Amino acid sequence: MTEDIRIDTLGKFRDGGYCFDLWCTHCQRGKTVSPDRFVAKLGPDHPIDVARYIRCTECGNKGIEVRIRPPTPELVDRVYD
């Protein structure tokens, strides 16, 4: 029997190699970001719900769609801003 894994905090999310895919619903701009900046600001025990803390750097819109990008071999070793 396998044990369920719960990734419910930013610290676990980061340590698991996950990233966020962010998409602005207004200007249609998107990018993939590491959870490091959220861990630094909110702490490793904060829930992974970060949408309310994000604003588009291009148009200033707060309507950002946040998707979870699971770890993959090509993403694990890359650094995102």
Segments in the chain forming alpha helices (H): 10-15, 36-42, 73-76
Confidence (pLDDT) at 78: 53
The mean pLDDT of 8-23, rounded to a whole number, is 95
Q: Domain limits of the chain?
A: 10-73
Tokens 């249609």 -> residue: 28
Confidence (pLDDT) at 74: 62
Confidence (pLDDT) at 72: 78
Question: pLDDT tens digits, residue range 20-72?
Answer: 999 999 999 999 999 999 999 999 999 999 999 999 999 999 989 999 999 87
Confidence (pLDDT) at 81: 44
CA distances from 33 to 48, 58, 60, 64 (A): 13, 15, 17, 13
Give the span between the Cα atoms of 58 and 3, in whole angstroms: 42
